Structure 1
Amino acid sequence: MSTIFLDVTRLLTRLYDGLMPTGVDRVGLEYIKRYGGHARAILSERGFSTVLTERDSQLVFSMLLASICDRNKIRAVVARGCFNRLREARLHGALLHTSHNGMEFGRYYLAMAKREIRPVFMIHDLIPLTHAEYCRPGVNATHRRRIHTALKRASGLIANSQGTLDSLAAEARHAGFALPPTVIARLASGVTERPGVTRPLPGPYFVMLGTIEPRKNHWFILHVWRRLVEQLGDTAPKLVVIGRRGWECENVVDMLERCESLKGVVIEEAHCSDVQLQAYLQHAQALLFPSFVEGYGMPLAEALALKLPVLASDLDVFREIANNIPDYLDPLDGPGWLARIQAYSQSDSSARKAQLQRLERFREPTWAEHFEQVNRFLETLQ
């Protein structure tokens, strides 16, 4: 295989800023684990890019995998990268870019062409194009530029699901672009059950996992929980909300901070370590995933891999990943969610036991399978 180049700009920036990895970041880290031993790192800013030396690439990969934030070292690496950019030669190989950051700049592709590097991007979703109402203002225009530029200039595109590929193909047709070579490579959760993990809460509880943003439907679930407290009082199950606060979530924040009936019942974990996350998931009654739209849904795969039942919105991509294993509900069916959560909170819940039986059939996508697909795809691009 020719030399692999990994754009780690987003990962290094977030490490420098002290931010916890998101789902997109975890994918990037898996690519470092798989290819980092013989890969080179690329850093970019607004389409201007530099390829780090082999030594600095290994230094950056090590910091990212260990989550070690040494800001002095990071600044020094960036400075050396900017200086070495003036002495770059043709490098040859393939770029694997696993975030959407910077893919809208034409100069980025031109620089890769001069280096004889074929750019291959992963497309996680087209939600800002298909559901702009759930995103920050202006993100739809930026993401459209990203997708259109990649359609015109990328050597290949990796989709994380059939649903994402279908959306990508539809956008290409709508915009009048030919679809470049593509492959579907589903994402693995990367979690494994750890025996003996201490239960984090004494009573029954449920988990929501993901950044707090409109499409995740936190506000709806918090209203369901307020009704649960009204009906059950002190015996109401707890809800653990894991994820940082995102954008346009003021109504959710108001509920979390000012709703008296939810205090002590809803627990917000904005900075949850991997160990804490796994403990919460392994002992919960179920994962709640009431999203209006998803490109993939990593929390779904993570929960099912840990044999945790899931109550989820009835989305095509969820069925693509999990078939009929979760219990599916309409994301606006308040009485339905209320009844199902009450049922699952009981120790003798027949509905929960039935899903646990279905869970035995779950076959989790693996990173080995993912990279087998990616490697075969790269061979076709040479």
Structure 2
Amino acid sequence: MDISRLLSRAGNPVPTGIDRVEMEYVLYLLDHAAERTIFVAMHPFGHIGVLEHDEVITFIEQTAALWDGKEAFPHKATWNARRLVFARTLMSRRTLPSGGIYLLLSHHHLSRPDAIARFIRRHGAVFVPMIHDLIPLEFPEYARPAEPARHLRRIATVTALADGVIVPSKVVADSLAPFIARSGRDIPVTVIPHGLHLHALQAAAATAPVPKQDGRPYFVSLGTIEPRKNHLLLLNVWRDLVHEMGDAAPQLILVGRRGWENENVLDMLDRCPALRGHVFEHNDLSDLQVVTLLQHAQGLLFPSFAEGFGLPLAEALGLGVPCICSDLAVFREIAGNAVTYLNPLDGPGWRSAILAHMPQARPHRLDQAEIAALGFADWPSQAAKGIDFSESIAPDTSGHNRWKLRSIS
């Protein structure tokens, strides 16, 4: 399994969704297949090398402790990650048992097909990547200028080299299908939704203290502050609510780091007088702190323009928290009829829905039966499905040249 993504994010106290996915597969393999799991990573020079098993475990433990808020020294994980990447991978020329599976669960170096091709050819491995979304190709306006071309190269790597692909939603599978069809290859794709730690979430929520928010009702928005997440809509709604309601207006809690090309959003956060004391940012909360906020919130607000899955939505629903979200196909795939759907451009509609979720309106919170009906699975079972899928295609290594790259542009 390739852990390049986790190593590249070493020292960050707040994981992204993709970080969590890679971590959950690592933990599953360590628990259930440690004796036959080998960890690898990409060196900046383009060499995928084998890592020392015990050192990986140490790094994973440090990272997990950091995410849980139990480790106050992120430099430990950072230093170990650098040593693993820059020393271990470069020095490693270890020959692996032939016929294994090369599992790459992030987009980390899919844009480097030659390195991947060399690695799987050298070790006789089948290649199973995970594609989280095709948003840079479908919505280039929400990506950095160079990202659409880079993502096209990633997808071309997948269609040229992959023996099977894991995706988190049917929406992503449908987006990927035309690229696979044009490649002329028959590549199996399996939909495995991301898992949840439902019991842990609910146990944490049951014991979590009430957050100090001056006793005022509040709503939560989870996610990096970037154009695709549509924070600007929420801030404009909140400015109007404060203008009309004054101190009776609810609070808005933004949980996520500031991203890129957010000038309008950041200007409002930093310079709009009406939002002061009403809108708050948190960019380094532990999982328990996020659960605490969600548990006592009037609702989760998720006005994104595009998503490949929507882990915050699933996690909030797993706690029974009311949710207001964009009317996206992937959200309907996750939430069914359990949430309020709105057009992400419908400002008046969002304002009305938010007011309908205020305490006096007594918004409905999902009970255990309704949560169970959504069919969320825990992380170990979802990781097991991904491993089972990978192993189901591993024997198919004869009869065609999987190492010859097709045209990649």
Instruction: State TM-score, norm by structure 2.
Output: 0.86
CA change 1:260–1:141 in 2 (3 A) is: same
Question: Which residue of 81, 97, 111 corresponds with 1:104?
Answer: 111
Q: How far apart are 1:365 and its partner, in Å? A: 2.9
Q: SS state of the match for residue 40, structure 1?
A: coil
Identity %: 39
Q: How far apart are 1:286 and its partner, in Å? A: 0.4
Report the AA paired with residue 76 of structure 1.
R
Rounded to whole Å, the distance in 2 between the matches of 1:188 and 1:240 is 25
Q: How far apart are 1:136 and its partner, in Å? A: 1.0
Rounded to whole Å, the distance in 1 between the matches of 2:365 and 2:64 is 38
Deviations 1:219-262 (A, max 9, x none): 01100011111111110000000000111111110010100000
Rounded to whole Å, the distance in 1 between the matches of 2:99 and 2:370 is 48
Rounded to whole Å, the distance in 1 between the matches of 2:332 and 2:64 is 32
Rounded to whole Å, the distance in 2 between the matches of 1:335 and 1:79 is 52
Structure 2 gap ranges (5+): 67-73, 396-409
Q: How far apart are 1:81 and its partner, in Å? A: 1.2
CA contact (8 A) 1:109 1:154 kept: no
Report the AA paired with residue 362 of structure 1.
L
Aligned to 1:346: 359
Report the AA paired with residue 341 of structure 2.
Y
- Aligned pairs, how many? 373
Rounded to whole Å, the distance in 1 between the matches of 2:357 and 2:124 is 56
Rounded to whole Å, the distance in 1 between the matches of 2:238 and 2:390 is 48
CA contact (8 A) 1:104 1:150 kept: no
Matched, 1:56 2:55: yes
Q: How far apart are 1:354 and its partner, in Å? A: 7.4
Rounded to whole Å, the distance in 2 between the matches of 1:280 and 1:159 is 30
Report the AA paired with residue 140 of structure 2.
A
Deviations 1:22-60 (A, max 9, x none): 011011110111002512211103542101133333333
Aligned to 1:10: 5
Alignment map for 1:58-137 (pairs within 5 Å):
58-67=57-66, 69-70=75-76, 71-82=78-89, 84-90=91-97, 92-106=99-113, 107-137=115-145
Rounded to whole Å, the distance in 2 between the matches of 1:253 and 1:59 is 38
Report the AA paired with residue 40 of structure 1.
I
Rounded to whole Å, the distance in 2 between the matches of 1:65 and 1:95 is 24
Rounded to whole Å, the distance in 2 between the matches of 1:263 and 1:50 is 50
Q: Which moved more, 1:115-124 or 1:300-309?
A: 115-124
CA contact (8 A) 2:47 2:90 kept: no
| Higher relative contact order structure (alpha carbons within 8 Å, sequence separation ≥ 6) | 2
CA change 1:217–1:198 in 2 (3 A) is: same
Aligned to 1:379: 391
Deviations 1:130-185 (A, max 9, x none): 00001111100000100111111012110100000000002333x44435121111
Q: SS state of the match for residue 293, structure 1?
A: coil
CA contact (8 A) 2:50 2:94 kept: no
CA contact (8 A) 1:187 1:370 kept: yes
CA contact (8 A) 2:49 2:90 kept: no
CA contact (8 A) 2:162 2:187 kept: yes
Alignment map for 1:21-40 (pairs within 5 Å):
21-37=15-31, 38=34, 39-40=37-38
Q: How far apart are 1:91 and its partner, in Å? A: 5.1
Instruction: State TM-score, norm by structure 1.
Output: 0.92
Rounded to whole Å, the distance in 2 between the matches of 1:274 and 1:164 is 27
What's the RMSD between the two structures over aligned residues?
2.0
Aligned to 1:278: 291
Matched, 1:313 2:331: no
Matched, 1:329 2:328: no
Report the AA paired with residue 107 of structure 2.
H
Rounded to whole Å, the distance in 1 between the matches of 2:265 and 2:316 is 24
Q: SS state of the match for residue 364, structure 2?
A: helix
Alignment map for 1:293-304 (pairs within 5 Å):
293-304=306-317
CA change 1:376–1:77 in 2 (3 A) is: closer
Question: Which residue of 148, 161, 172 corresponds with 1:140?
Answer: 148
Rounded to whole Å, the distance in 2 between the matches of 1:90 and 1:35 is 17
Matched, 1:289 2:302: yes
Q: How far apart are 1:92 and its partner, in Å? A: 4.1
Matched, 1:363 2:375: yes
Matched, 1:263 2:257: no
Report the AA paired with residue 58 of structure 2.
L
Q: How far apart are 1:80 and its partner, in Å? A: 4.2
Q: How far apart are 1:115 and its partner, in Å? A: 1.4
CA contact (8 A) 1:285 1:309 kept: yes
Report the AA paired with residue 328 of structure 1.
Y
Aligned to 1:184: 191
Q: Which moved more, 1:188-197 or 1:212-221?
A: 188-197
Aligned to 1:41: 39
Q: SS state of the match for residue 43, structure 1?
A: strand
Aligned to 1:157: 165
CA change 1:168–1:179 in 2 (3 A) is: farther
Aligned to 2:223: 210
Aligned to 1:3: none
CA contact (8 A) 2:5 2:108 kept: yes
Aligned to 2:207: 196
Question: Which residue of 247, 259, 266 corresponds with 1:246?
Answer: 259
Rounded to whole Å, the distance in 1 between the matches of 2:217 and 2:100 is 52
CA contact (8 A) 1:326 1:355 kept: no
Rounded to whole Å, the distance in 2 between the matches of 1:108 and 1:341 is 48
Q: How far apart are 1:358 and its partner, in Å? A: 5.4
